[in-house]
Structure 1
Amino acid sequence: MARRSKGSVTKVDPSAFDRAGATVLDTPVTNEIEDSYLEYAYSVIHSRALPDARDGLKPVHRRILYSMHEQGYRPTHAYVKSSRVVGDCMGKYHPHGDLAIYDAMVRMAQDFSLNAPLVDGHGNFGSPDDGPAASRYTEARMSNEAMLLVGELGEETVDFRPNYDGSLEEPSVLPAAFPNLLVNGTSGIAVGMATNMIPHNLGEVVAAARWLINHPDASLDKLMEFVPGPDLPTGGMLLGLDEVRKAYETGRGVVRMRARAETGPLEGSRGRQAITVTELPYGVGPEKIIEKITDEVTKSKRLTGIADVKDLTDRENGTRLVIECKVGVNPQALLADLYRLTPLEQSFGINNLVLVDGQPQTLGLKALLEVFLKHRYEVVTRRTRYRKRKREERLHLVEGLLKALLDIDKVIRLIRNSDNAQAARDGLMKQFKLSEIQASYILDTPLRRLTKYDKIELESEQEKLTGEIAELAKILDDPAVLRKVVSTELAKVTKDLTWERRTALIDGDLKEVLAASKPAGPLEVADDPCQVLLSATGLVARTAAESEEASEARRRNGRARNDAVAAVVHTTARGQILVVTSKGRAFKTDVLPLPVLPEQVGTVSLSGGMAASELVPLDKGERVVTIAPMTDTTSPGLAVGTRQGVVKVCSPEWPVRSDEFEVITLKDGDEIVGATWLTDGSETLVFVSSDSSLLRYEAGLVRPQGLKGGGMAGIKLAGDAHTVFFAAVRTDDDEHGEPMVVTATGNTVKVTPFAEYPAKGRATGGVRTHRFLKGEHALRLAWIGSRPAGSTDTGSSVELPEVDTRRDGSGHPHPGPDVVGHLVERG
């Protein structure tokens, strides 16, 4: 009669089983549960979740590779369906479901998961954001790296054990010719414990292992000279090497991964700023970043400076995530917020928990290398024994054949006169003192292999085998030779498979590094006064907040380093300016996206400016002629002069809704050669023609026109002459001094006071300003203004000659080997 006792398994009347000879045990439920759970936990730890420290593989990965090796799916073999690999592995070695096997195989094929992929996949094996295609659609074979793990299996290098049903055998560990655990890393969750190992550079790890071979007492700091830190498949940056050292010492630590990003103008956006991410943290995909950014922008609203996010990642260019900034946003400050609020910066908790002799242990860098090297010593030793034994067995057979060849006729008669094979074998063993193996081999050898030529070959083989056996014996007898062999083989691995470091390492304490990398300044840039400058070579930039001291010093010194300033506009950091081109087009452009020049009192370098062609969309042959303010409504407007001698003062009534418009309607073949923003209309307009005529008259003689106006006659040109210079010049500026006229041909340059030229009426022919010498036919350049400066086409300064008071003088030779390319005002 069955009955249940409190706190125990159901107890059955023993008399019911006594007749069958059975025994019933009364076991407490708690003991039964504990025993069963411990068996389950042991199984998970040893057979599922934790890697072996020797080959760095979990059982499922090891069985996949062994199954592919047994089936011959090597790098030289054609790709086979992944479902075929999965089915073979599941049926023979790993009866835990096809999905688990396929997931493990997929990870071994992903170059963004492993530094050295062990499976060569063909098809969609997924991305950091998306899973792979089904196993029936993808194909696979072993990679070259995988062959280094299984290549020595046929030489008795490792122990084998029965598979799950005892019908086959599988290796308990793979020979592993390189430190796979450190190179590829791994992760797994067992019962009450977990492992999370970060990948490293193969060349660095092998270099450390080779040093440890010859210096077993090497310190951790010495090993870290070879392995300075992890190297992730996805690149990026790793912050805080102090924590890395802690992980290398104790086996546990937390490192900070950061995406690699650049800030700069957004391509095709007329100067708008953007953040371009080219490398992501390990295990993070672009879609995850975009999703988090969207949540922060739309829900929590902690990211307020983002206008748009685009994922331009492709196979050709790799990762490319473009985050467009709103106008007025400091991209560096926004990037700091992105690091703080999105997975562009993530932590990686290192936990080097592995199986060592079947026991879970947490190991540091040196201990992991020591376990691997101990495994390699054993593998090479067992391989050497196997190879030595095989050569000794072959040498034994060769020596037997050579004995038989010494008296081959007697051997043949003995065999022919024997009653059967056993009698022949016994006779050979007795008369020629051969072993049974040698005698059997002679009986099995065809007569065609017993010629004189074969004897020579056998003697050569005997000598070769003897030498190889001696070399193998040295490896077995001398530990130093063994270590040298292991070191040489590791060096060959790096020669074939090494790659450049992908992850940049940033040294120091993690908290200090994070604090130092956070850019100062608010997200929104203040609308402070500043200057926008256009250089003679077409570079545009802005200054920082314009202080009175810096502004005064610039006016006083007025010298530009490495470049000459062609136009200056006083505005604000969050304002707009007009960019005017030679085709009469004007573009509204934000000031904020322009590069900021270094704050230097009295001097300014435009070498870090933005090319005007990147700021506005220019046509072929079109160039930027000037920049102008947007908000100065007190000015008469923009004075422009054209190649065909047309002048126009364009009223500052810019369209509100259009960012691009025309400031003058040009005739066919005409273009703007100069443009100047008028301050109060008291300026003097000046034309200089190619035939050396200068015409000046008051700006008040030109009536302002609207945008559609085509202007009026500015200078009367003779023959095929054209305008080479136009500008509005002030003659009442005591601070900057008297204006100068600079003219240049291909050979000579002349500087003359502007006061030497009389004023005339609009649309007249002007007066001569430069007498041509023999071989000179036209002016190449001209310029009028205070403090003249010359520069080459590359922006280098050129000194001009002394002032010549002769209005129509012939000029002086060029001052130096460089041809003058630009004439502008200093400052």
Structure 2
Amino acid sequence: MSVSEIRPIAIEDELKHSYLDYAMSVIVSRALPDVRDGLKPVHRRVLFAMHELGNDYNKAYKKSARVVGDVIGKYHPHGDSAVYETIVRMAQDFSLRYQLVDGQGNFGSIDGDSAAAMRYTEVRMRKLTHELLADLEKDTVDWEDNYDGSERIPQVMPTRIPNLLVNGAAGIAVGMATNMAPHNMTEVVHACLAYADNPNISIEGLMEHITGPDFPTGGIIYGKSGIVDAYRTGKGRLHIRGKYHFEEDQKSGRTTIVFTEIPYQVNKAKTIERIAELVKEKKLEGISELRDESDKEGMRIAIDLKRGENAEVIVNNLFLNTQLENSFSINMVCLDNGQPKLMNLKDIIAAFIRHRQEVVTRRTMFELRKARERGHILEGLTVALANIDAIIETIKSSANPAEARERLQAGEWAAGGVVALLEKAGSVSVRPDEIEGEDPNRPFGLDGQVYRLSPAQVTAILELRLHRLTGLEQDKLHAEYSEILAQIAELTAILNDFNLLMGVIREELAQVLQQYGDARRTEIVESRIDFSREDLIPEEQVVLTVSQTGYAKTQPLSDYAAQRRGGRGKSATSMKEDDYVQHLIVTSNHATVLCFTDVGKVYRLKVFEVPQASRGAKGRPMVNLLPLDANETITAILPVIDAPKKFTERLADFRSYVKANAAHLQTNAIIAAQYAELEAAFTELADGDDLSDALRVQLKQLGVELSATDLDDEIIAEFASQAEALRKNFYVFMATASGTVKRVELEQFSNVRSNGLRAIELNEEDTLIGVAITDGEQQIMLFSNEGKAIRFAETDVRSMGRAAKGVRGMRVSFGSAQVEDVEDVEVDGDDEDSSDSALISRIVSLVVVPETGEVLCASANGYGKRTPVDDFPTKKRGGKGVIAIKTSERNGELVGAVAIDESKELMLISDGGTLVRTRASEVAQTGRNAQGVRLIRLGENETLVGVEAIEAVEEDEFVEAIEGAESLVAETDAVAETEQVEKDGENSVEE
């Protein structure tokens, strides 16, 4: 090269052009599939090579190395490993929804195992693959040269199946990528047929046929929003979960979680390893054993749980921390007319139908051309038979074949039977459009009563065998000519009538549907189930305590076994010398609590957000959990989990019930999509429908037959009470130390802001002492520290707004100045005014009581008693109340009261942090004037500060032994208490 031939170029220009050329090469020739056949170049070349090798589905397998060699040698000059990996993937049943290669040997596994070397494995095309190559030899697609110009390869396959949708595609190009999900053949073909019938069909109309992706590994897609986005815009995101069920071991009482399907493109072995790591690192508890029981029958990952573990919670943790829940991002980028394009569902189906129109049109034209050529040959053979002697003589007298060809073509032969054939043809043209070597002045064919033979006809005559000269063969020629005429007429009609053309396309799609249509593997659940923290935390009853200085913590209720009354209890928390437990709540760790403060604000807090701590720990300051202002303290805590539960929250309970009681119901048969139908049925119950009948009707629609005994009275009563609850309005009832009460609709606290909400306007020095949820028709009792109580109907207090101050509930000496501003009422004049000690009275407890039942009063020195609610007369609000318990020197002042019955248990806690859990039935029932019996044994200078009633927990009852001197003291106290009870009884009679 001379210096004059060197041309300077700016490097940025060269980089721009070279990189653009490279990018387009990658986009068009490597990474993106063609929208028409759904294949990338390497896939297309592999299948074409197998086709050329005759590697058909009904023939013997060939070594993979043979196919790879042909592909890289003739069509694809790249690495053999890349070509072999392509073949392997097309043979894997967990990679392609509809495999294109039938592999024999080790082609890898869902565990990530590699395929055997290509010299060991064998392949052939599957029957379905022939549908991609059908009519390839009929000039249905354009062809191009291979890389060295020695071979011709198709630019696209004349596929009969919408391969891009049914098998999907994935690839990374330059500046763009594609990731298309596989779909179900039946659904896609139905959508194609719907589009063929109505090209103006909407995407929503197509989605009536294609419900969503259908992955080869099955699984469950949660949420349809990602599917809708993908089908409308070409981009979307799916969430896929593995499919599982529970197996119960009746003997051991253990549960096994069994996964039978996992999300698409997830490695099973690595998923199992990840679960094992979580268990080892103690990030996932409750699993005792993990096994891979997969075999030729299918996948089976067995996860044995420890006895008593919540299987649903562990499953939720598995979904959150492993790829058993995975996302799949759809990006439908493909080549359309050689250009990369983001396409929606309708675009892809429309492109496929257009491709089929072109293929069928070109095939029809090809077949028409061949039919006319054959008809033309049949005319020549008929002429030859009519002039057989002369033609034979001409051939015999010719010096060579060339001379014979010239003499036959130059001659004019008697038309004979050709006239009848052409008359039969009528308007159907059998003559080819172009005939080689024809002279316009002397055309081939019939001219009057003579017939001139074309070169093609002469060739056919020269190749004619002698046995074709019989009369029978002449009849066959005439019959074949008739068939050709019918074929030409049909093909011509197809080309001239678009509706007939579309009819052919529909018919072939119907054949594909009949041969290859199958059922869906992937289920689709309508609504996406997002994890909340509750889903990952096992539900249990806990004790929530908040100290006077604002330290909060939770402890499992099981930490406190039931004791005999009067026990010493266990240390519940470590207290400073000047601190004590102020609030004690027993509730679910999934509950939401409303925290009311001394300034009248309310905050919302999830119980599980309060850290669980040991009995000796102080806990965490509330200012770290809630945005409390300086000097703002919690004065009341209200759990709201049961106020009431909605039906959607009861569906899980119902599912567990059906599983446990309907043995013939297949495990996990009722999926989340069907819960929406159940919810609709439950909603109707609010109108008074019979619950058991409604449940049975709904279950029958789901294919579950339940007998009358399957739905027992307990479950019916439970759900019926829920239906009744929905018809009521619920209220938050508040009481302050000064005796002010207020009732606000619970709905007003449904959206408590993160920085709190104003709940009540408080006067100076007044504090909120109690909050309860009511249904608008209940009985309210207020208890003062001087041992008095008042009972009145909730309806005596009108419903107010959050900003209201409230009305007088009970007249007490504390804060008398503060309650002057609130509404007053006329009160009954029979209030009792007797106390063993002069106290500044204040309200200490707000209790919502049943019509019948009992209340338990507890005093500062650890004494208490049960009293029937009927012993407290119902009065108007605003009075001073009647005696509830003697506040003697032995008892001290009243610190709390709760509504109970004999089935409940009591939680008692002291200012020293000691907590006792005891049966309510062990506390003696006495009259209102009695002093009661010992509830808890307190230490020196220790005071009882809180009492809470809880539901009894079923467990092995045990009593902690009090050894040595403690036993003697307890016996002595018991005798003394018995004597005191007898004396109290006498006092009550005198009263």
TM-score > 0.5, shorter chain as reference: yes
Amino acid corresponding to residue 17 of structure 1 in structure 2:
S
2:128 to 135, 145, 154: 145
Alpha-carbon distance in 2 for matches of 1:398, 1:335: 75
2:492 to 469, 473, 476: 473
Amino acid corresponding to residue 345 of structure 1 in structure 2:
E
- Residues 201-239 of structure 1, C-alpha deviation per residue, up to 9 Å, x if partnerless? 001000000110110000111111110111111111011
Alpha-carbon distance in 2 for matches of 1:27, 1:477: 56
Aligned residues: 520
Amino acid corresponding to residue 167 of structure 1 in structure 2:
S
Cα distance change, pair 428–504 in 1 and its aligned pair in 2 (3 A): same
Instruction: Identify the residue that residue 117 of structure 1 maps to in structure 2.
Output: 99
- Residues 660-692 of structure 1, C-alpha deviation per residue, up to 9 Å, x if partnerless? xxxxxxxxxxxxxxxxxxxxxxxxxxxxxxxxx
Q: Is the 8 A contact 1:202 1:494 kept in 2?
A: yes
Find the residue that maps to 1:135 and give its secondary structure: coil
Amino acid corresponding to residue 241 of structure 1 in structure 2:
K
Cα deviation for residue 451 of structure 1 reads: 1.4
Instruction: Identify the residue that residue 241 of structure 1 maps to in structure 2.
Output: 224
**TM-score (norm: length of structure 1):** 0.60
Instruction: Identify the residue that residue 554 of structure 1 maps to in structure 2.
Output: none
Cα distance change, pair 219–517 in 1 and its aligned pair in 2 (3 A): farther
Find the residue that maps to 1:262 and give its secondary structure: strand
Cα deviation for residue 286 of structure 1 reads: 2.1
Amino acid corresponding to residue 287 of structure 2 in structure 1:
I
Amino acid corresponding to residue 330 of structure 1 in structure 2:
N
Identical pairs, percent: 44
Instruction: Identify the residue that residue 212 of structure 2 maps to in structure 1.
Output: 229
Instruction: Identify the residue that residue 330 of structure 1 maps to in structure 2.
Output: 310
Amino acid corresponding to residue 305 of structure 2 in structure 1:
C
2:246 to 255, 263, 284: 263
- Does residue 492 (structure 1) correspond to residue 511 (structure 2)? The answer is yes
Alpha-carbon distance in 2 for matches of 1:302, 1:276: 20
Alpha-carbon distance in 1 for matches of 2:174, 2:534: 40
Amino acid corresponding to residue 228 of structure 2 in structure 1:
R
* Aligned pairs (5 A) from 1:55-204: 55-129=37-111, 130-204=113-187
- Residues 219-271 of structure 1, C-alpha deviation per residue, up to 9 Å, x if partnerless? 1111111101111111110111122011001000001001111123148x622
Q: Is the 8 A contact 2:279 2:285 kept in 1?
A: yes
Cα distance change, pair 517–228 in 1 and its aligned pair in 2 (3 A): farther
Amino acid corresponding to residue 192 of structure 1 in structure 2:
G
Q: Please, which moves more after superposition, 428-437 or 235-244?
A: 428-437
Find the residue that maps to 1:278 and give its secondary structure: strand
Q: Is the 8 A contact 2:242 2:261 kept in 1?
A: yes
Cα distance change, pair 115–603 in 1 and its aligned pair in 2 (3 A): closer
* Aligned pairs (5 A) from 1:444-455: 444-455=463-474
Q: Is the 8 A contact 1:263 1:332 kept in 2?
A: no
Cα distance change, pair 467–601 in 1 and its aligned pair in 2 (3 A): closer
Find the residue that maps to 2:285 and give its secondary structure: coil
2:291 to 273, 288, 310: 310
Cα distance change, pair 82–421 in 1 and its aligned pair in 2 (3 A): closer
Q: Is the 8 A contact 2:45 2:75 kept in 1?
A: yes
* Aligned pairs (5 A) from 1:786-797: none
- Does residue 49 (structure 1) correspond to residue 31 (structure 2)? The answer is yes
What's the RMSD between the two structures over aligned residues?
2.7
* Aligned pairs (5 A) from 1:507-526: 507-508=526-527, 510=528, 513-514=529-530, 522=538
Alpha-carbon distance in 2 for matches of 1:202, 1:374: 19
Q: Is the 8 A contact 1:334 1:523 kept in 2?
A: no
* Aligned pairs (5 A) from 1:736-751: none
1:40 to 7, 22, 27: 22
Q: Is the 8 A contact 1:48 1:59 kept in 2?
A: yes
- Residues 322-353 of structure 1, C-alpha deviation per residue, up to 9 Å, x if partnerless? 11112231001111111111111000000000
Cα distance change, pair 598–332 in 1 and its aligned pair in 2 (3 A): farther
Q: Is the 8 A contact 1:330 1:524 kept in 2?
A: no
Q: Is the 8 A contact 1:55 1:179 kept in 2?
A: yes
Alpha-carbon distance in 2 for matches of 1:237, 1:517: 22
Q: Is the 8 A contact 1:428 1:439 kept in 2?
A: yes
Instruction: Identify the residue that residue 265 of structure 2 maps to in structure 1.
Output: 283
Instruction: Identify the residue that residue 939 of structure 2 maps to in structure 1.
Output: none
- Residues 507-547 of structure 1, C-alpha deviation per residue, up to 9 Å, x if partnerless? 13x3xx335998597266878899xxxxxxxxxxxxx9xx9
Cα distance change, pair 29–250 in 1 and its aligned pair in 2 (3 A): same
Instruction: Identify the residue that residue 13 of structure 1 maps to in structure 2.
Output: none
Alpha-carbon distance in 2 for matches of 1:366, 1:355: 15
- Residues 271-321 of structure 1, C-alpha deviation per residue, up to 9 Å, x if partnerless? 21111101111111321211221222223x3211211210000112x0100
Alpha-carbon distance in 1 for matches of 2:539, 2:263: 24
Cα distance change, pair 398–516 in 1 and its aligned pair in 2 (3 A): farther
Instruction: Identify the residue that residue 739 of structure 1 maps to in structure 2.
Output: none
Alpha-carbon distance in 2 for matches of 1:518, 1:215: 48
Q: Is the 8 A contact 1:44 1:190 kept in 2?
A: yes
Alpha-carbon distance in 2 for matches of 1:188, 1:196: 7
Amino acid corresponding to residue 118 of structure 2 in structure 1:
S
Find the residue that maps to 2:328 and give its secondary structure: strand
Q: Which runs of 5+ in 2 are unaligned?
A: 414-451, 542-555, 562-587, 589-641, 643-657, 662-709, 719-991
Amino acid corresponding to residue 456 of structure 1 in structure 2:
D
Cα deviation for residue 476 of structure 1 reads: 1.1
Cα distance change, pair 221–109 in 1 and its aligned pair in 2 (3 A): same
Cα deviation for residue 419 of structure 1 reads: 4.1
Amino acid corresponding to residue 355 of structure 2 in structure 1:
H
- Residues 425-458 of structure 1, C-alpha deviation per residue, up to 9 Å, x if partnerless? 3333322211121122212212222111110110
Instruction: Identify the residue that residue 828 of structure 2 maps to in structure 1.
Output: none
Amino acid corresponding to residue 233 of structure 2 in structure 1:
T
Q: Which runs of 5+ in 1 are unaligned?
A: 1-15, 531-543, 548-560, 565-596, 606-827
Cα distance change, pair 364–44 in 1 and its aligned pair in 2 (3 A): same
Alpha-carbon distance in 1 for matches of 2:488, 2:534: 65
Q: Is the 8 A contact 2:253 2:307 kept in 1?
A: no
Cα deviation for residue 420 of structure 1 reads: 3.8
Find the residue that maps to 1:255 and give its secondary structure: strand
- Does residue 409 (structure 1) correspond to residue 389 (structure 2)? The answer is yes
Q: Is the 8 A contact 1:286 1:311 kept in 2?
A: no
Alpha-carbon distance in 2 for matches of 1:380, 1:603: 63
Q: Is the 8 A contact 2:144 2:153 kept in 1?
A: yes
Alpha-carbon distance in 2 for matches of 1:523, 1:90: 61
Amino acid corresponding to residue 186 of structure 1 in structure 2:
A
Cα deviation for residue 164 of structure 1 reads: 1.0
Q: Is the 8 A contact 1:336 1:518 kept in 2?
A: no
Find the residue that maps to 1:323 and give its secondary structure: strand
Instruction: Identify the residue that residue 189 of structure 2 maps to in structure 1.
Output: 206
- Residues 85-122 of structure 1, C-alpha deviation per residue, up to 9 Å, x if partnerless? 11111111111101101111111001111111000011
Alpha-carbon distance in 2 for matches of 1:326, 1:523: 16
Alpha-carbon distance in 1 for matches of 2:173, 2:190: 32
Q: Is the 8 A contact 1:204 1:226 kept in 2?
A: yes
* Aligned pairs (5 A) from 1:573-612: 600-601=713-714
Alpha-carbon distance in 2 for matches of 1:516, 1:125: 41
Q: Is the 8 A contact 1:263 1:273 kept in 2?
A: yes
Q: Is the 8 A contact 1:113 1:233 kept in 2?
A: yes
Amino acid corresponding to residue 507 of structure 1 in structure 2:
E
* Aligned pairs (5 A) from 1:719-734: none
Q: Is the 8 A contact 2:91 2:107 kept in 1?
A: yes
- Residues 558-592 of structure 1, C-alpha deviation per residue, up to 9 Å, x if partnerless? xxx9x99xxxxxxxxxxxxxxxxxxxxxxxxxxxx
Alpha-carbon distance in 1 for matches of 2:95, 2:534: 29
Amino acid corresponding to residue 303 of structure 1 in structure 2:
L
Alpha-carbon distance in 1 for matches of 2:73, 2:5: 37
